[in-house]
Structure 1
Amino acid sequence: MSEVMITSSAPALSVLDLVPVRAGQTSAQAVAASLDLARRADRLGFRRYWFAEHHNMPAVASTTPPVLVAAAAARTQRIRVGSGGVMLPNHSPLVVAEQFAALEALAPGRIDLGIGRAPGSDPVITQLLRQSGTTSDVERFPDHVRDILSLVSPDGAAVRFTSGGTYDVHATPAATGAPEVWLLGSSDYSAQLAAALGLPYVFANHFSGQGLERALDLYRSQFQPSEALRAPRTFLTVNAIAAPTAEEAEARSLPNQRMTARLRMSRPLVAMETVEQALAGADEFDGLADSLMASARANWFVGTGDSVAAQLAVFAARHDVDEVMISPIAGAYDGEPMDAAAGRAQTLELLAAAG
Structure 2
Amino acid sequence: MNTTTSPALSVLDLVPVRAGQSSAQAVSASLDLAARADDLGFRRYWFAEHHNMPAVASTTPPVLAAAAAARTSRIRVGSGGVMLPNHAPLVVAEQFAALEAIAPGRIDLGIGRAPGSDPVITQLLRKTGTTSDVDRFPDHIRDILGLVSPEGSQVRLVSRPGAATGEPYAVHATPAATSTPDVWLLGSSDYSAALAAAFGLPYVFANHFSGEGLARALDLYRTQFTPSEHLDAPRTFVTANVVAAPTEAEAEARMLPQARMMARLRGGRPLVALETVEQAAESEAHDRLATAMLDGLRARWFVGAGDDVRSRLASFAGQYGVDEVMVSPVAAPHDAEPLDAAPGRVQTLELLVG
Give yes or no for TM over 0.5. Answer: yes
Q: Equivalent residue for 1:232?
A: 234
Cα RMSD of the aligned pairs, angstroms, is 1.1
Q: Equivalent residue for 2:96?
A: 100
Q: Equivalent residue for 1:22?
A: 18
Q: Residues 22 and 59 of structure 1 are in contact (CA less than 8 Å); yes or no, is this contact kept in structure 2?
A: yes
- Partners of 1:220 and 1:269 in 2: CA distance: 38
**Given the alignment, which residue of 145, 148, 151 partners 1:152?**
148
Deviation digits for residues 126-158 of structure 1, max 9, x if unmatched? 000000000000000000000000000000001
**Given the alignment, which residue of 201, 204, 208 partners 1:202?**
204
Q: Equivalent residue for 1:310?
A: 311
Q: Equivalent residue for 2:161?
A: none
Post-superposition offset of 1:187 = 0.4
Q: Equivalent residue for 2:351?
A: 350
Post-superposition offset of 1:161 = 2.9
Q: Equivalent residue for 2:325?
A: 324
Q: Residues 42 and 79 of structure 1 are in contact (CA less than 8 Å); yes or no, is this contact kept in structure 2?
A: yes
- Partners of 1:171 and 1:108 in 2: CA distance: 15
2:133 aligned with 1:133: no
Post-superposition offset of 1:215 = 0.3
**Given the alignment, which residue of 37, 61, 66 partners 2:33?**
37
- Partners of 1:75 and 1:304 in 2: CA distance: 29
Deviation digits for residues 284-322 of structure 1, max 9, x if unmatched? 434x74112322232100111110000000000000000
**Given the alignment, which residue of 101, 107, 110 partners 2:106?**
110
2:71 aligned with 1:75: yes
- Count of aligned pairs: 345
Q: Equivalent residue for 1:291?
A: 292
Post-superposition offset of 1:160 = 1.2
- Partners of 2:275 and 2:166 in 1: CA distance: 59
Q: Equivalent residue for 2:265?
A: 263
**Given the alignment, which residue of 184, 190, 193 partners 1:191?**
193
Q: Equivalent residue for 2:302?
A: 301
**2:110 is paired with a residue of what secondary structure?**
strand
Q: Residues 87 and 117 of structure 1 are in contact (CA less than 8 Å); yes or no, is this contact kept in structure 2?
A: yes
**Given the alignment, which residue of 260, 273, 281 partners 1:279?**
281
**Given the alignment, which residue of 168, 178, 181 partners 1:179?**
181
Post-superposition offset of 1:208 = 2.5
- Partners of 2:28 and 2:157 in 1: CA distance: 47
- Partners of 1:48 and 1:99 in 2: CA distance: 18
Q: Residues 208 and 296 of structure 1 are in contact (CA less than 8 Å); yes or no, is this contact kept in structure 2?
A: no
Q: What amino acid maps onto 2:250 in structure 1?
A: E
**2:273 is paired with a residue of what secondary structure?**
coil
Q: Residues 159 and 169 of structure 1 are in contact (CA less than 8 Å); yes or no, is this contact kept in structure 2?
A: yes
- Partners of 2:303 and 2:157 in 1: CA distance: 56
TM-score using structure 1 length? 0.96
Q: Equivalent residue for 1:5?
A: none
Q: Equivalent residue for 1:339?
A: 340
Q: Residues 104 and 179 of structure 2 are in contact (CA less than 8 Å); yes or no, is this contact kept in structure 1?
A: yes
Q: What amino acid maps onto 2:96 in structure 1?
A: F
- Partners of 1:291 and 1:77 in 2: CA distance: 43
2:144 aligned with 1:169: no
**1:298 is paired with a residue of what secondary structure?**
helix
- Partners of 1:192 and 1:103 in 2: CA distance: 28
**Given the alignment, which residue of 84, 90, 101 partners 2:86?**
90
2:62 aligned with 1:66: yes
Q: Residues 5 and 314 of structure 2 are in contact (CA less than 8 Å); yes or no, is this contact kept in structure 1?
A: no
Deviation digits for residues 15-63 of structure 1, max 9, x if unmatched? 0000000000000000000000000000000000000000000000000
Q: Residues 185 and 203 of structure 1 are in contact (CA less than 8 Å); yes or no, is this contact kept in structure 2?
A: yes
Q: Residues 152 and 179 of structure 1 are in contact (CA less than 8 Å); yes or no, is this contact kept in structure 2?
A: yes
TM-score using structure 2 length? 0.96
State the identity as a percent. 75
- Partners of 1:161 and 1:72 in 2: CA distance: 38
- Partners of 1:304 and 1:225 in 2: CA distance: 41
Q: What amino acid maps onto 1:258 in structure 2?
A: R
- Partners of 1:217 and 1:320 in 2: CA distance: 10
Post-superposition offset of 1:9 = 4.3
**1:281 is paired with a residue of what secondary structure?**
helix
- Partners of 1:189 and 1:208 in 2: CA distance: 14
**Structure 1 pair 164–282 and aligned structure 2 pair: CA distance change class (3 A):** closer
**Structure 1 pair 339–289 and aligned structure 2 pair: CA distance change class (3 A):** closer
Post-superposition offset of 1:281 = 0.5
- Partners of 1:153 and 1:109 in 2: CA distance: 13
